[in-house]
C-alpha cells in the first residue's frame, strides 16, 4: 500500500488535515513585506500556498488583463489554460461575480474548462485591489473530489486581503 503524500506540515488530505492558515499568513506576510509588485506577490503566494497542503494539485493566478479577460499568471503544477473569458468556467464565474467559487465536482459545473483531465474539485477566489476591483483570481485544483471547504475559502480569502489590499 502506498501512503498518501505528506505536505510540509505533516498532514494529508485523507486525514482531514487543514493547513494552519494563520501560520501560512504569517509566513507569507514575512516573505512579502514591503513588496508592491503584483506579479512577485502572486508568484510567492502560488508557491507558498501550493506547498502548504497535499490536496493542492494546481495552484495559480489568472490576471485580469482586459475587460472580461483573464490570462495565466504565476502558478505551481502542470500547465494551465492561457486565456479564460469571464463568461466561461469556474475562474470566469469568480471574476464576473466577485465571489468565491467552491466546486466539489467539476464535472457538475456547467461550462467547466478542463485545463487538466485529472482535476476533480476546485476553489477559485477573487483577488481585489485596494479600490475593491477584481485584479485576478486564485485558482486551486485538486485531483480529489470535494477537497475544499468553507474553512479553506475563509483562510485563503484572509490571506489574499492581507497581501493585495495595499498592493
Give 143 or 12, the one with higher predicted confidence: 143
pTM over 0.85: yes
**Of 95, 148, 153, which Cα lies nearest the Cα of 126?**
95
Cell numbers 475544499 correspond to 148
The number of residues in the chain equals: 167
CA 28 to chain centroid: 14
pLDDT tens sequence across 1-52: 444 444 444 444 444 568 999 999 999 999 999 999 999 999 999 999 999 9
- Which triple of cell numbers denotes residue 26? 504569517
* Per-residue pLDDT, 112: 73
- What residue ranges do the domains of the chain occupy? 35-164
In this prediction, residue 117 has a pLDDT band, given cuts at 50, 70 and 90, of: confident
Kindly indicate the confidence band of residue 106, based on its pLDDT and cuts at 50, 70 and 90. confident
Rounded-to-integer distance, Cα 139 and Cα 56, Å: 10
Sequence-ordered list of residues with C-beta below 8 angstroms from that of 130, at least 6 positions apart, any chain:
164, 165, 166, 167
Q: Are 167 and 129 in contact (CB under 8 A)?
A: yes
- Candidate CATH numbers 3.30.450.40, 1.10.275.30, 3.40.50.720, 2.60.40.10; the one for domain 35-164: 3.30.450.40
Identify the pLDDT of residue 70: 98
Handedness of CA 116, 121, 127, 133 (dihedral sign): positive
How much is the pLDDT for 98? 98
Calculate the average pLDDT of the chain: 89
* Confidence band for 110, pLDDT divided at 50, 70 and 90: confident
Question: In whole angstroms, what is the distance from residue 9 CA to residue 19 CA?
Answer: 8
Question: Confidence band (pLDDT; 50, 70, 90) for 118?
Answer: confident
Which secondary-structure segment (H or E) carries 164? Answer: helix 150-164
d(CA 89, CA 96): 10
**Rounded-to-integer distance, Cα 85 and Cα 109, Å:** 16
pLDDT at residue 4, rounded to an integer: 46
Would you call 92 exposed, middle or buried from its count of C-beta atoms within 10 A (0-12, 13-18, 19+)?
buried
When pLDDT is averaged across residues 71-85 and rounded to a whole number, the result is: 95
Amino acid at each position: 500500500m502506498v501512503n498518501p503524500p505528506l505536505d510540509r506540515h505533516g498532514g494529508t488530505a485523507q486525514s482531514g488535515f487543514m493547513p494552519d492558515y494563520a501560520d501560512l499568513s504569517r509566513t507569507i506576510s514575512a516573505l512579502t513585506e514591503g513588496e508592491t509588485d503584483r506579479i512577485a506577490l502572486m508568484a510567492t503566494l502560488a508557491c507558498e500556498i501550493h506547498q502548504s497542503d497535499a490536496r493542492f494539485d494546481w495552484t495559480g493566478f489568472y490576471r485580469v488583463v482586459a475587460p472580461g479577460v483573464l490570462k495565466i499568471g504565476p502558478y505551481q503544477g502542470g500547465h494551465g489554460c492561457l486565456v479564460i473569458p469571464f463568461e466561461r468556467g469556474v475562474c470566469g464565474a469568480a471574476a464576473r461575480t466577485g465571489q468565491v467559487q467552491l466546486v466539489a465536482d467539476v464535472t457538475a459545473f456547467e461550462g467547466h474548462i478542463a485545463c487538466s483531465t485529472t482535476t476533480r474539485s476546485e476553489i477559485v477566489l477573487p483577488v481585489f485591489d485596494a479600490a475593491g476591483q477584481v485584479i485576478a483570481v486564485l485558482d486551486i485544483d485538486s485531483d480529489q473530489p470535494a477537497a475544499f471547504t468553507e474553512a479553506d475559502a475563509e483562510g485563503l480569502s484572509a490571506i489574499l486581503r492581507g497581501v493585495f489590499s495595499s498592493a
